Structure 1
């Protein structure tokens, strides 16, 4: 399953506060989020190519809490699967059981061939 629309639903209490590509081995997206009491316990992380709306699952299950404090979290996720697919992407946090349910989206960012 892939999100039919990568627009976040209102009221889930998750929001991506930053997402940026970090070169290395592996190349990753470093991202952070905010949450509150009604936020889901877990989320999956995916990436969507902006022009084609193609979804790629990057991490099936991330614990919402425990990656920071005061209602904030941060983590990294490998994007090595995109090595041969440069382009403009958004990071999405989705339901672990239904990838069509989008909790949060990042601002668009560029993945370049030189990032790998």
Structure 2
């Protein structure tokens, strides 16, 4: 009966379905360094604000003193840079754990000896 219907009209069985790809968020593209570069730019802006304040070129930015703005901008920049470094380290540890042989991943448990 399957021959009468033609091969193109048969429903695929469950075993014929393609397997879904494994979830790997950064498997095909490397992590962007935009966060870290933005952090460096904010830290440089904070340094420039501090230099301008020291030379007397600027006293305040709106209702806020320049020192407060420079500290806030610099703190956000440092936070972005350190977060990027920590996330990269975490992904490197996960990748190293996946690549490690199964014998080294025993988690300290005793076998059935």
Which has more radius of gyration? 2
Same topology, TM > 0.5: no
TM-score range (shorter-chain normalised) is: under 0.3
TM-score (norm 1): 0.16
TM-score (norm 2): 0.16
Choose between structure 1 and 2: higher strand proportion. Answer: 1
